[in-house]
Amino acid sequence: MRSNLSIQAILWDVGGVLERTEDPTPRQNLVSRLGIDPVDLTRLLFGHSDNFRVQRGEITMEEHWENVSAQLDMAVEEIPAMLDEFFGGDRLDLDLVDYIRDLKHNYCTVILSNYMTNLRQRITEEWQIDDAFHHLIISSEVGLMKPEPEIYCLALETIGFEPEETVFVDDFIQNVEGARQVGIHGILFTHPEHVKTELNELIKN
């Protein structure tokens, strides 16, 4: 039952929020061995250098990894092992997922993520956490990216709630500000307990 502009929906980012780098050692070892700046490698892997075409769904993941392998002067067959090492210290926050799963009983819970086309498979098959969410909105599937206002408007259209009834959690301030620009409540992720405190305050009000 909807009440008068109370919080009805909570949108969650994935990378840096639900899945975070808890142990930087594997990534540090990789960049040291490759002799590349860690920021440069991160930007290359996530597609910064070509306007995020892979995260916009404009090229396939296979095409993206071929481009990456060429940039790194590495055989494309070596890419999977390199990625395993790059993400070796990343962990899915199962406690936070359980918290969201509980929220789902009373609120519309949604993934809103800039991500490649493998995210849906990761959520449904690898992590098996799709039961915690009503909707999955993924940049590579919809051709829009945060912090563009269009992706937030698409999310609102998908869930059927007003901006004032919606909260968005992300670890990048520009994405939080993008949500706020269209009237959505924004929470900058710094720590799970901090997010729960802020979110509980919004829900209580």
User: Which residue intervals of the chain bear CATH 3.40.50.1000?
Assistant: 9-20+91-204
Residue-wise pLDDT for 101-112, tens only, equals 999 999 999 999
Q: What is the mean pLDDT of residues 88-95?
A: 98
Q: Predicted confidence band at 62 (pLDDT cuts at 50, 70, 90)?
A: very high
Domain 9-20+91-204 listed as CATH 3.40.640.10: no
Cβ within 8 Å of residue 176, ≥6 positions away: 168, 170, 186, 187, 188
Write down the pLDDT at residue 5.
73
pLDDT (0 to 100) of residue 205? 65
Average pLDDT over residues 4-33: 95
Please compute the mean of the pLDDT values over residues 46-75 and round it to a whole number: 96
Banded pLDDT at 1 (limits 50, 70, 90) = very low
Task: Tell me the pLDDT of the chain averaged across its residues.
Answer: 96
Q: Say if strands 19-21 and 90-92 run parallel, antiparallel, or are unpaired.
A: antiparallel
